[in-house]
Amino acid sequence: MTQARIEHVNLTVSDLDRSIALFEKLCGWGVRIRDQHGVRGEFAHVGAEDTYLALWADGGDYSGQEKGKPMNHVGIEVGDLDTAERVVLDAGLETFSHGKYEPGPRTFYFFDWDGIEFEVVSYE
């Protein structure tokens, strides 16, 4: 049996352009596809060749949701944690729960504009 991996995470967001811009800067990713959704709204796949975030904007405003619910968080590995944190802060978001797991990675967390929680991890 081969080891499983996350191929994508599908997130509903309030502002597709804003979310795309954050993940392009934070992760160095690009838009793999962007199109109208078959039911309503618009979607984009933002990522690398083998992994991505599927972002769907259905016209709703999710910024008032309780943060982190019902999903726990999405983990994103980066090469330079300090640079990644600057990108998040420059986007007007707040970081929290900075830590280091022995012997593993340094991390921090943030909520995006729609209350989705992200853990940013670096093994640098």
d(CA 67, CA 89): 18
Question: b/e for 80-118, b at 16 or more Cβ within 10 A?
Answer: ebeebbebbeebeeebeeeeeeeeebebbbbbbbbbbbb
Strand partners, 30: 47
> What is the tens place of the pLDDT at every residue in 53-86?
999 998 888 887 777 766 778 989 898 999 999 9
For residue 59, how many other CB atoms are within 10 A of its CB? 8
Per-residue pLDDT, averaged over 37-65, amounts to 88
The pLDDT value given to residue 4: 65
CATH superfamily of 8-122: 2,3-Dihydroxybiphenyl 1,2-Dioxygenase, domain 1 (3.10.180.10)
The pLDDT value given to residue 19: 96
Assessment of whether the complete model's pTM goes beyond 0.85: no
The pLDDT of residue 3 is above 80: no
Per-residue pLDDT, averaged over 111-117, amounts to 93
The pLDDT value given to residue 52: 93
The pLDDT of residue 107 is above 80: yes
Per-residue pLDDT, averaged over 88-94, amounts to 97
- How does residue 2 score in pLDDT terms, banded at 50, 70 and 90? low
